[in-house]
Amino acid sequence: MTVALAPIAPRWELYRLLSEPARLCLLALAAEDELAVSELAELLDESQPNVSRQAAPLRQAGLLTVRRQGTWTLMRLAPDATHDPVVADALRAGRALCEERGTLGRVADVVRARERTTREFFARPRSTGAAGSAPESTAYLAALAELIPERALAVDAGTGDGRSLDLLAPLFEHVIAIDRSEAQLASCRERVRLRGFENVELLLGEIDEPNVQQAVLARGGADVVLAARVLHHAPRPADAMRNLARLARAGGAVIVLDYERHEDESMREREADLWLGFEPSELRTLADGAGLVGASVRAIPPPWCGAGPDRHLQWQVLLARRPSVARENTITPVSVTATHRRAGRTGASQS
């Protein structure tokens, strides 16, 4: 939920409001990234109540926007705030204070720390095997493969134990399955072996790493990029969506399967979720921001969502496409000559 913006405060109120150094630093940090109250408290070396108290008049003056995600309260600088010269000057002063104290440089570390629990959760050893779908479904999918016109390459971003490969491998000539957890890839590797998926290539790494980007772009980009229940683990969902878009070829599809917005805080502890789902409009906005076109979102019927710990949540799927060549400038290209960062590449080559 995003709180509606208030009009920018009158001049005399702005001068009074922005005379406090703590508020200047708060504004500068909120301009750097959308941050939770707890994260701002850590950066400012203040208690959360003190941060909330300092932020309250800034919110009332229309300088900060607030978004709530379950028990999280996230703040960022209002989009039009810097149009006011008084606010712009205050922001420069706040940045200077933060740089002097070394606070600004810690923002990226604080955002990365959101992933700590998620990384630990997925780093746990997983049971191996090819459980998760009926074995004969692979044969049925192979029989339908010729009905898909563009099926040279699929990317499974955040493949986990590889369940999605049971769907992708029979349909596509080559599949690149990516995960940043060696424990997850170990399970995935065993699944690939048991299933005999000789067209699957496994990559250890993040989707924005040079070795991952180069492996995909060397094949001309993916016809389909799938991110199944991945986005709610991303510290910055907008960055994740942009990186998914970069893996697709011109005209290629990006498919994001994730939850609708919910209030089940226990998912943060049980499944290491960072975000409690997304409104359909949020997914479309993320797709637009990534330069994707034709974004559509539809709900998934609950009986289709299995019997896992997230079965009580409403699932949804986003489908969007990278623009055709004529509109390619809407997405920043990634050079396929980028320096390799070796990341444990495994898997068989295309048969």
Tell whether 207 and 326 lie within a shared domain: yes
CATH number of the domain enclosing 29: 1.10.10.10
Q: Write the CA distances from 319 to 170, 227, 257, integer angstroms.
A: 21, 11, 9
Distance CA 195, CA 135 (A): 9
State whether 84 and 211 are in the same domain: no
Q: Is the pTM of this model over 0.75?
A: no
Amino acid letter, 64: L
- Which candidate, 294, 298, 290, places its Cα nearest to that of 318? 298
Q: Which residue has the tokens 């150094």?
A: 21
Same domain, 99 and 128: no
The H or E element that residue 203 is part of is strand 200-204
- How far is the C-alpha of 151 from the C-alpha of 169, rounded, in Å? 10
CA atoms of 99 and 43, how far apart (whole Å): 12
Same domain, 54 and 130: no
- Nearest partner of 66 among 160, 114, 10, 2, judged by Cα: 2
Is 3 part of any domain?
no
Residue 167 C-beta-side C-alpha neighbours within 13 Å = 11
Report the number of distinct structural domains present in the chain: 2
Answer yes or no: is 290 within a domain: yes
Task: Name the domain boundary from 78, 95, 113.
Answer: 113
User: At which of 74, 98, 113 does a domain end?
Assistant: 113
Q: Is 5 domain-assigned?
A: no
Spatial separation of the C-alpha atoms in residues 200 and 347, rounded to whole Å? 6
Residues 104 and 127 in one domain: no
Task: With respect to residue 280, please indicate whether it lies within any of the assigned structural domains.
Answer: yes
Q: What are the residues whose beta carbons fall under 8 Å from the beta carbon of 71, sequence distance 6 or more?
A: 265
- Cα 211 to Cα 214: distance, rounded to the nearest angstrom: 5
pLDDT at 248: 97
- Beta-carbon contacts of 22 under 8 Å, excluding residues fewer than 6 positions away, are 44, 46, 54
1 found inside a domain:
no
Residues 186 and 99 in one domain: no
101 lies in the same domain as 130: no
Q: What is the DSSP letter of 70?
A: T
C-alpha–C-alpha distance, residues 343 and 350, integer Å: 20
**Domain check: are 84 and 190 in the same one?**
no
Is 109 in the same domain as 127? no
Give the domain CATH number at 151: 3.40.50.150
Give pLDDT, residue 199. Answer: 97
Contact 121, 268 (CB under 8 A): no
Closest CA relative to residue 335, chosen from 206, 245, 217, 207: 217
75 strand-pairing partners: 35, 66
Is residue 273 in some structural domain? yes
Q: Who's near 122: CB < 8 A, 6+ residues apart?
A: 160, 179, 180, 181, 183, 184, 272
Other C-beta atoms lying within 10 Å of the C-beta of residue 3: 13
With respect to residue 56, please indicate whether it lies within any of the assigned structural domains.
yes
Which pLDDT value is given to residue 16? 82
pLDDT at 135: 62
CB 313 within 8 A of CB 258: no
CA dist 75 and 66 (Å) reads 5
Q: 267 is in which domain, residue-wise?
A: 120-347
My answer on whether 267 and 199 are in the same domain is yes
DSSP string of 233-299, one letter each residue: G-SSHHHHHHHHHHHEEEEEEEEEEEEBP---THHHHHS--SS--B-HHHHHHHHHHTT-EEEEEEE
Local confidence pLDDT in tens for the 351 residues of the chain: 444 444 555 666 778 888 889 999 999 999 999 999 999 999 999 999 999 999 999 998 889 999 988 888 999 999 888 888 888 999 999 999 999 999 988 998 888 888 777 777 777 775 555 445 556 778 888 888 888 888 999 999 999 999 999 999 999 999 999 999 999 999 999 999 999 999 999 999 999 999 999 999 999 999 999 999 999 999 999 999 999 999 999 999 999 999 999 999 999 988 899 999 999 999 999 999 999 999 999 999 999 998 899 999 999 999 999 998 744 444 444 433 333 333 333 333 333
The confidence score (pLDDT) of residue 10 equals 63
The reply to whether 282 and 224 lie within a common domain is yes
Q: Give the residue from 113, 141, 169 where a domain finishes.
A: 113
Same domain, 131 and 265: yes
